[in-house]
Amino acid sequence: MPSYKAPLRDIQFVTNDLLKFTEHYQNLNKDVGLDQSMQWAIIEEAAKFSEHVISPLNAVADQHGCQWSADGVTTPPGFKAAYQQYCEGGWPSLAMPEEYGGQGLPESMNVIVSELVCSASVAWSGYPGLREGAIKTLVSYGTEELKNTFLPNLVSGKWTGTMCLTESHCGTDLGQLKTKATPVANDEYILSGTKIFISCGEHDMAENIVHIVLARLPGAPEGTSGISLFVVPKFLVTEEGKIGARNKVGCGSIEHKMGVHGFVTCVMNFDGAKGYLIGQPNKGLEAMFTFMNSARLTTALQGLVHSEVAYQGAVPYAKERLAMRSLSGVKNPEGPADPIIVHPDVRRMLLTIKSLAEGFRAFAYYVAQQLDIAELGQSEQQRHHAKQLLALLTPICKGFMTELGCEAAHHGVQVFGGHGYIREWGMEQNQRDSRISTLYEGTTGIQALDLIGRKVMGSKGSLLTNFTDIVLEFCESHQSTENMLEFIGPLKQSTHDWLELANTIGKSAGADADELGAASVDFLMFSGYTVLAYFWARMALVAFDKQKQGAQTHDRDFYNSKINTARFYFQRILPRTATLKLTIQSGAQNLMAMDTEQF
């Protein structure tokens, strides 16, 4: 099993050279006290914690899993102790509100730390991760009483949180949910119903678990317009803020999953559990989207994580494993065969993984900057523009990055050949763990419908042009820049195709609504490839500039690697959009022509 090593050089490149985080922090309307040395001190400490405390638990968690009993759920060995150490280090409060005990740092720093922790163990990282969505929901929609009751302990990590949406009969279609909330005295409610697929619904890592639950009030309208949101703690909280009696909510069973075995997924029974309304009655889904959008961005990071883990495992193996001779001549005359990294097809897989991992990092950190600006931008116009960019990029981030994270994990197994199928190497675990990321917080199909339907068509194209204007301005600024022509031409063409396809889909959907669904996933993937091309073009530009400035000897290989990987992406990965363009243009008829009975 490979030991995780934080990719600090690449993180430094993205934060310092590409996205200029120090300038970014100086341009916020709050002094966050993050000069470059402070940023790097936080990142290095997070890297040490991830490498030395969390990473050793990863394989153990996969093999041991979580154990259910009538008394509760126990997590894998070492999980609880690591979580206590995590809390003692102040990591849960990093980007949390200062008025509730948080450190008040920008969300972008939290995203970087989350990447490091999640890369060390996806399973472990979920326990503190879901708590963040619960905090954001309560901050945005909770009463002062609810905030004061729950936020201090959630912020510190002393308590964790969950998101309780899904039920066995409805899945993503939350308009069908049946969990009931009956009002009683003193603004309290009694909740009854069963939720499934509840991540971290029950465990032994924290003293209390705060469930954020969707339910229906008596007489509520049918469908999604009749859903309300409630906070339901595992243990009730006394007026003094202490742990009180056990609430009537429990874990009926845990799911036996394909991967992330150390990350418990529960069936949760609410048997007359006491809860408190969050926000307005029948407006719960709107409030829950605060939690869901937070969770979608966290899940998007998993696409980056599984790509990075695949790369860290595959490259050393490809350099050491001897098999066959190079087609262009012997490369290892002292050995019985050449290392497999000399073979073109192995390099194809390695470069695919590398181009995705490093491209995703740039994409994710850019989105993280928009989170900062949306909250702390100097003007309302800046904040509004960042929110619009987030609205467009969130479903692309979540859908595209997780789909290709699975591809990267697949290549990681394939590089190892038969050894990749064996547990000890860790690649098969990475592939199993990666698969859930495309399903969490809305499947790829749901993200795609959100993108093309609500975001692109719903805004009449304005959300899309907000971002494509940025890309086209970059192309215009560098269309005569030395060495950049090989990137600018294809990027510009892909961006124009993106806009044209959105227009084509909109016109087709006006005559047949199924055209929207038929094109949606291909459109999301086209969007993702184009967005990643933009970031690879920017990374190539920075690398060229560093070379001109006379990069130090130890950095020359790094910048050459960036340029070569950008070329690989533009010549081998971006052309996938040509096929996607054709499939989008083929329309819905080839999907909808068959009668149901013909399947």
Closest listed residue to residue 109, CA positions, set 22, 233, 196: 22
Note whether 57 and 78 are within 8 A (CB). Answer: yes
The catalytic residue among 403, 407, 441, 515 is 441
d(CA 538, CA 14): 10
Query: 């201090």: which residue's tokens?
Result: 152
Using DSSP, how many helices (H) and how many strands (E) does the chain show? 19, 11
d(CA 491, CA 468): 11
| C-alpha pair distances (Å), 596 with each of 29, 193, 206 | 57, 34, 49
Note whether 577 and 530 are within 8 A (CB). Answer: yes
Segments in 416-513 forming alpha helices (H): 427-435, 444-449, 462-477, 485-511
Q: Write out the DSSP string of 285-309.
A: HHHHHHHHHHHHHHHHHHHHHHHHH
| C-alpha pair distances (Å), 64 with each of 26, 67, 259 | 46, 8, 12
Note whether 157 and 206 are within 8 A (CB). Answer: yes
- b/e 364-376 (16+ beta carbons within 10 angstroms → b): bbbbbbbbbbbbb
Query: 């969490």: which residue's tokens?
Result: 440
d(CA 403, CA 576): 14
Query: 């009969």: which residue's tokens?
Result: 169
**Phi, psi (deg, nearest 5) at residue 195:** -115, 145
Note whether 124 and 79 are within 8 A (CB). Answer: yes
Closest listed residue to residue 393, CA positions, set 421, 379, 374, 408: 374
d(CA 424, CA 151): 41
- Secondary structure E strands in 200-295: 208-215, 228-233, 235-237, 243-246, 249-254, 265-278
d(CA 44, CA 41): 5
3-state SS assignment for residue 269? strand
Whether 107 is catalytic: no
Identify the burial level of 80 via C-beta atoms within 10 angstroms of its C-beta, where 0-12 means exposed, 13-18 middle and 19 or more buried: middle
Q: Which residues contact 143 (CB under 8 A, 6 or more apart)?
A: none
Q: Please work out, in degrees rounded to the nearest 5, the angle formed at the alpha carbon of residue 485 by the alpha carbons of 481 and 486.
A: 145
Beta-bridged to residue 277, according to DSSP, are: 230
> Which pair of structure tokens corresponds to residue 38?
């402070």
**Phi, psi (deg, nearest 5) at residue 161:** -135, 165
Q: Catalytic amino acids?
A: 441
